[in-house]
C-alpha cells in the first residue's frame, strides 16, 4: 500500500469440502502467501468455508423428509462456522500477524438465530485481525434455499482500506440494484463479488458493475471437482456417482472503473493472483458519472436501508 495504490490478491481455491478445520488451514496458508506477495487484501470465494452444497441439485434435494437430505444437512451444520465459538480465530490471527485484510465466504451457523440454520455469510476481517462485518446473503439462489436461510441488511457495510472504501456482496445478490446502491451510497469504490465458481457468472457482471459504479470490481470464485469429494463425507460414493467432473470452474477476475480487464477470468486451476489498483483511476472516472454523487437526484429517488440484525425474539430481563 503506497500513496494512491493497494494490492489485492484473488485466492481461487477449492475447499477441503465440508471439512471446516482442514479448509481453514488451507485458507490461512493462502493468506500468508498473499501477504508475502505484498497484498493488502486477499479475497476467497462464496461459501468456501466449509464448501458450497453441490449435492442438492444432484441428489433430489427437494424431496421432503428425505433421510439422505437430512443426513447431509446435519453434517453441513456440524462443519459450518460459529463465529462466537472462535471458528474464525485462525484467520483473524493470520490477518493481524501479516497485516492483511481478508474477505472470506462462510457457511455461518448463527447463534443469534438459534444455531441450527445456516447463512451464506461474507466476512470482512481488517488488517488488525478484527471482524468488521458479517454480511448474510439476502436471498439464497434457487436450490440454495433448501439449505440456507435468508439474511438481513446488517452486513451492508463498507470499510476503509488505504485510499479505498471496500464493500461486497455474495454471488447473485450482485445482480440486485438496491443492495449495490446501498454500498455505493456508503462510499464504496472497490467492490468485491464472491462466487462458488463459474466463469459464466463473472465475465459479464464484473465489467458491468465497474462501469455502473466507476469502481474497481474484484470477483473471486472457488473451484469444485468430483475429485474434491472426500471419502469421509457422508454418502461419498453416491455424491461422486452424481457429481460432474467439474462443478465449479473458477472465473476469478478484476475490472477497472473503465470496464477494462485488469485480470481476465481464469478457470480450471487453483491460483493466487495479485493486482495493483490505483485509486486515482476512480477519481478520473467519477468525473463524468457518480451514481450517488453529482449524477444522483435524491429529491426524486432515495433508498431506505434497514441495517438492524434481525432476530426472532428480543429478551428483556431487567
Catalytic residues: 46, 137, 171
Give the containing element (helix H, strand E) for 12.
strand 5-12
Give the pairing of strands 118-125 and 131-136: antiparallel
Neighbours of 238 (CB within 10 A): 15
Grid coordinates representing 199? 466463469
Query: 9 vs 213, 246, 273, CA distance in Å?
Result: 21, 24, 5
**Dist. CA 114–CA 312, nearest whole Å:** 9
Residue 157 carries which DSSP code?
-
Residue 310 carries which DSSP code?
P
What is the number of helices (H) and of strands (E) in the chain? 7, 13
Amino acid at each position: 500500500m503506497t500513496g494512491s495504490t493497494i494490492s489485492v490478491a484473488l485466492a481461487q481455491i477449492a475447499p477441503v469440502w465440508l471439512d471446516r478445520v482442514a479448509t481453514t488451514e488451507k485458507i490461512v496458508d493462502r493468506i500468508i502467501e498473499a501477504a508475502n506477495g505484498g497484498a493488502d487484501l486477499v479475497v476467497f470465494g462464496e461459501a468456501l468455508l466449509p464448501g458450497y452444497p453441490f449435492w442438492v441439485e444432484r441428489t433430489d434435494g427437494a424431496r421432503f423428509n428425505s433421510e439422505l437430505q437430512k443426513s447431509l444437512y446435519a453434517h453441513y451444520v456440524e462443519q459450518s462456522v460459529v463465529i462466537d465459538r472462535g471458528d474464525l480465530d485462525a484467520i483473524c490471527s493470520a490477518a493481524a500477524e501479516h497485516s492483511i485484510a481478508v474477505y472470506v465466504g462462510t457457511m455461518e451457523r448463527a447463534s443469534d438465530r438459534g444455531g441450527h440454520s445456516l447463512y451464506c455469510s461474507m466476512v470482512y476481517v481488517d488488517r488488525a485481525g478484527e471482524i468488521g462485518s458479517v454480511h448474510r446473503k439476502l436471498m439464497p439462489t434457487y436450490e440454495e434455499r433448501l439449505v440456507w436461510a435468508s439474511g438481513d441488511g446488517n452486513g451492508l457495510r463498507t470499510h476503509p482500506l488505504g485510499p479505498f472504501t471496500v464493500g461486497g456482496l455474495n454471488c447473485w445478490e450482485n445482480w440486485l440494484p438496491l443492495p449495490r446502491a446501498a454500498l455505493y451510497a456508503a462510499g464504496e469504490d472497490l467492490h468485491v463479488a464472491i462466487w462458488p465458481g463459474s466463469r459464466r457468472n463473472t465475465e459479464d457482471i464484473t465489467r458491468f458493475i465497474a462501469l455502473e459504479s466507476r469502481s474497481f470490481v474484484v470477483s473471486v470464485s472457488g473451484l469444485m471437482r468430483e475429485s474434491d469429494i472426500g471419502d469421509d463425507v457422508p454418502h461419498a460414493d453416491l455424491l461422486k456417482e452424481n457429481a460432474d467432473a467439474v462443478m465449479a470452474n473458477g472465473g476469478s477476475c478484476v475490472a477497472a472503473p473503465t470496464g477494462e480487464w485488469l485480470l481476465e477470468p481464469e478457470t480450471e486451476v487453483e491460483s493466487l493472483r495479485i493486482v495493483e489498483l490505483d485509486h486515482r483511476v476512480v477519481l478520473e472516472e467519477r468525473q463524468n458519472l457518480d451514481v450517488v454523487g453529482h449524477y444522483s437526484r435524491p429529491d426524486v429517488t432515495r433508498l431506505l436501508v434497514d441495517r438492524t440484525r434481525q432476530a426472532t425474539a428480543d429478551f428483556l430481563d431487567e
